[in-house]
Amino acid sequence: MEERIAGVIEQQRAFFKGNQTKDLSFRRAQLSLLKQVLKDNEEAMYEAIYQDFGKSAFETYMSELALVYHEINSLLKNMGKWSRKRRVPTGLANFPASSYILPEPLGVTLVIGAWNYPFQLSLIPAITALGAGNTVILKPSELPTRSSAILAKLINDHFPPEYFFVMEGGVPETQALLAQRFDKVFFTGSTSVGKIVYQAVAKHLTPVTLELGGKSPTFVLADADLKMTAKRLVWAKFLNAGQTCIAPDYVLVDQAIELEFLQVLKAELELFQERTQNYQEHYSRIINHKNFDRIHRLIHPEKLFFGGETNREERFISPTILQGVSFDDPVMEEEIFGPVLPVLTYNKLDEAIAWVKERPKPLSCYIYSTHRKSIKKILCEVSFGGGAVNDSLMHISNSNLPFGGVGMSGFGRYHGKAGFEEFSHFKSILDKPLWFEAPLKYLPYSPLKKKLIKWLLE
Ligand code: NAD
């Protein structure tokens, strides 16, 4: 395995040195090819996700393929502009000269994907790296076996390994990859594995992007529009059965409206289940039994307000709400990553803000309120990767909003221009003509020269 990995990296390094990946028309052709390959194989991709998650084709399109196509289209449209030389002012000290910044690809990159959205979490960083002119080795998560296999087949059948290669595998394969030197590593996954990746790349001083997780809070203030809050919150929390890195992990609701909020939430969930009589067909399963058991243990019967139906054989957990939860409960220890929503109450907004600030900075935060001053207060005081006001999750669908974490939820960002820049180096150039050279910086020094230099440089 080590030899095979080293071989592909060597091939990619040689290919990158040939400069073909820097050619815009080559990059455009490759991204267009990838889009066509995905379009031609959508049915097989839907089937793979259905086999892995029991998830509907509609949801797979909406939460996976649509985002990938959107990103490819955005790159095709903008990468010419983003690759261009960027002129900047020069200043008098270097007169006469011009100054500019040249974006350039980093080289051979490694993208490591997570399992919960096997296509978009692997493909979006990969296509962004290709769009910026790099070569890519992609290591998807091993847990959704069918999705990982189809991704490997589609890419490896249509792209040469020296340019874009999918290497399937789990921990040993990832560690073997990480032992090698890359020019950039992009990792999506848990905070604990993120630390392992960070240590591994440090040996080679490889720049890294870490897209990690965490417990993302949702504030529901007393002045919130409760019906709309419940509608948007329920959709966001239970999409993919809660296995979403930016899912609302828990709710902090003003004590004054707790009961009313819970009733509206319950009504919305009943509607969610009624609307599609066979909603179980449209509702994702938990990825494996290990995660099923972990989530199942978090459903404390005494705190159960709604749901809690489970079927271990089918890895099914119905949308579940817990009431009267405190930060000492096991459900508040780690990211839930499943369809369980604990509701905690607060007396004063300041105390709720303080609770969130005591904990690691989350990947997302959501605020439901109609009071601009309170919204502004939370946005100003709480640090988190990204989020939404009066909505949840949907910020990910706007590629003009850089996506990434802060603190323990990771660093670096992608989507749109931010992603292109994440996979680029910006070479700063001062470009001087030969027809003039000011004598100031040369010997002999004099008080007059010092005065002039001071005026020019300060
Ligand atoms: P994970 O950390 O277990 O696995 C991620 C990848 O790392 C996989 O490809 C896996 O093969 C590899 N890996 C696992 N253990 C390893 C080890 N010891 N050494 C080297 N490589 C190893 O994460 P996951 O379970 O796939 O995903 C769930 C987590 O990812 C959650 O915390 C979630 O919040 C987070 N996540 C974050 C984002 C984001 O965009 N920030 C997106 C999705 C998921």
Q: What is the CATH number of the domain that holds 307?
A: 3.40.309.10
- Whether residues 342 and 382 share a domain: the answer is yes
- Residues near 241 by Cβ (< 8 Å), separated by ≥ 6? 53, 283, 284, 285, 286, 317, 338, 339
Tell me if 16 is assigned to some domain: yes
Q: How many Cα neighbours within 13 Å face the side chain of 21?
A: 28
Tell me if 360 is assigned to some domain: yes
Cβ(323) – ligand 1 distance below 6 Å: no
**CA of residue 109 to ligand 1 center, whole Å:** 18
Residue 416 sits in a domain whose CATH number is 3.40.605.10
Residue 276 has a pLDDT of: 58
- Whether residues 163 and 264 share a domain: the answer is no
Q: Which of 141, 191, 237, 397 to mutate to test the pocket of ligand 1 (most atoms within 8 A of CB)?
A: 141
Percent of the chain with pLDDT over 90: 92
- Whether residues 277 and 171 share a domain: the answer is no
- Whether residues 192 and 276 share a domain: the answer is no
Residue 158 has a pLDDT of: 98
Confidence of residue 81 (pLDDT cuts 50, 70, 90): very high
Known catalytic residue at 365: no
- Whether residues 252 and 350 share a domain: the answer is yes
Per-residue pLDDT averaged across 154-173, rounded? 97
Pick the atom of ligand 1 nearest to 114's CA: 26
Tell me if 344 is assigned to some domain: yes
**CA of residue 227 to ligand 1 center, whole Å:** 34
Known catalytic residue at 380: no
- Whether residues 25 and 62 share a domain: the answer is yes
- Residues near 396 by Cβ (< 8 Å), separated by ≥ 6? 67, 246, 403, 415
Cβ(122) – ligand 1 distance below 6 Å: no
Backbone φ, ψ for residue 122 (5° rounding): -95, -45
Q: Are 239 and 60 in contact (CB under 8 A)?
A: no
Number of domains in the chain: 2
Question: pLDDT by residue (tens digit) across 89-98?
Answer: 999 889 899 9
Tell me if 438 is assigned to some domain: no
Per-residue pLDDT averaged across 36-55, rounded? 95
- Whether residues 152 and 284 share a domain: the answer is no
Tell me if 205 is assigned to some domain: yes
Q: Which of 64, 71, 245, 422 is catalytic?
A: 245
Question: pLDDT by residue (tens digit) across 333-348?
Answer: 999 999 999 999 999 9
- Whether residues 194 and 249 share a domain: the answer is no
Mean residue pLDDT across the chain: 95
Tell me if 450 is assigned to some domain: no
55, 390, 62, 404: which is closest to 233 by C-alpha? 390
Question: pLDDT by residue (tens digit) across 301-329?
Answer: 999 999 999 999 999 999 999 999 999 99
**CA of residue 211 to ligand 1 center, whole Å:** 9
Measured by CA distance, the residue closest to atom 34 of ligand 1 is: 213
Tell me if 436 is assigned to some domain: no
- Whether residues 288 and 230 share a domain: the answer is yes
Residue 282 has a pLDDT of: 76
Q: Determine the Cα angle at 226 with ends 233 and 245, to 5°.
A: 15
Residue 280 has a pLDDT of: 63
The whole domain housing 243 covers: 217-399
Task: Reduce the secondary structure of the chain to three states and give it as a string.
Answer: CHHHHHHHHHHHHHHHHCCHHHCHHHHHHHHHHHHHHHHHCHHHHHHHHHHHHCCCHHHHHHHHHHHHHHHHHHHHHHHHHHHCCEEECCCHHHCCCEEEEEEEECCEEEEECCCCCCCHHHHHHHHHHHHCCCEEEEECCCCCHHHHHHHHHHHHHHCCCCCEEECCCCHHHHHHHHCCCCCEEEEECCHHHHHHHHHHHHCCCCCEEEECCCCCEEEECCCCCHHHHHHHHHHHHHHHHHCCCCCCCEEEEEHHHHHHHHHHHHHHHHHHHHHCCCHHHHCCCCCCHHHHHHHHHHCCHHHEEECCCEECCCCEECCEEECCCCCCCHHHCCCCCCCEEEEEEECCHHHHHHHHHHCCCCCEEEEECCCHHHHHHHHHHCCCCEEEECCCCHHHHCCCCCECCCHHHEECCECHHHHHHHCEEEEEEEECCCCCCCCCCCCCCCHHHHHHHHHHHC
- Whether residues 206 and 223 share a domain: the answer is no
State the pTM of this model.
0.94
Tell me if 448 is assigned to some domain: no
Cβ–Cβ contacts within 10 Å for residue 13, how many? Answer: 16
- Whether residues 221 and 208 share a domain: the answer is no
Lowest mean pLDDT across 165-169, 237-241, 274-278:
274-278
Cβ–Cβ contacts within 10 Å for residue 40, how many? Answer: 11
- Whether residues 207 and 221 share a domain: the answer is no
